[in-house]
Structure 1
């Protein structure tokens, strides 16, 4: 049986990489990934052989990884964050269906919403929805529908890929849809480069979100109707009754 890892490497340094992810990369003869991800991993694993492809070459990348794995190499296909959340695990598993002699091992990682939430405090303590505003593979109308329904359901909402040069207005429109169900004072946390050396984080409000300087390196976490801020931290109550600082 040939072995192929789908690895989520977290934010790009060993401090935010799971032991299982590090072990899988160390076990691999070849590490395959998106160009930017390979650049992040090469200094951490200089002894490894790497292969990279640019954006929108994901299927070609995975096909090559499968070909190399079936030639006898142990291959790790890397994704930032978690391999099963906007990563390569799904593509690899779909393509691997054609091969009975190939085992795809999915290795979890720390996705950007978890890394960002830890920086902001505890905004994900209750039910939340994760939505990408990129319409490269999902119709924009469906993205907006998901945003509106998540807002109606009072979920905390994590927005990936919130703004790019070609999608300058999508975040503002998403905020408008959420404002139909939520107060303008709702706390919103923004983290850029979560978990990396250049990390920057700040808290704003839903009403002011459209004015914020946000790009593809940011994660936007919009609180639910119960979320509040205290001492610079964003907190979504889980529902425990707390009296006098103790759980009642």
Structure 2
């Protein structure tokens, strides 16, 4: 029997899109995605050239949409379209429109992290960047039906781009908020609420002896599962 294109005849291609324009964050996201991907999975990590340098709240999310949609349109209509798309912003920027627009699996890293956390533990909390992002994440949790499983969405008050600066106190602030969550929230898992935290999850899991979930890795693994499912 002839193999279907994109199923077994070639490596599966997962497009990982950082909706902001910060290339160093895209590089970090790409590294996390490739580390999570299994054999036979090819990762392309890209970001738009125009739009906000960081997505911090709904205004930045709206400003990122034109560049995000154009970038995915160009990739998906090229000679190298993807078998799945990962939106690598924890706000799940443009996610529902992109799910409607493209016939391949489209997964947000927030969406993926919440589902994995709900499988890992009865209750989980989220540590994100600034307070302005908290209502967006709470709305997303409600939309996918997992708000009752989330004890609290916590802001570490770390600007997104501070996560790209090794000299900043970003990691210390994230760790302090995780410590508060463990002490106060009665949780069994912790979710890192920013793609820029992707490189922290493994180390923080060891430090706190708790499952600390990075949405980039979670989304890539779920995308890998979904592209292996034959339609119909």
TM-score, normalization: structure 2?
0.38
Structure with greater helix share of residues: 2
For the pair shown, the structure with the greater C-alpha radius of gyration is 1
TM-score, normalization: structure 1?
0.36
Structure with greater strand share of residues: 1
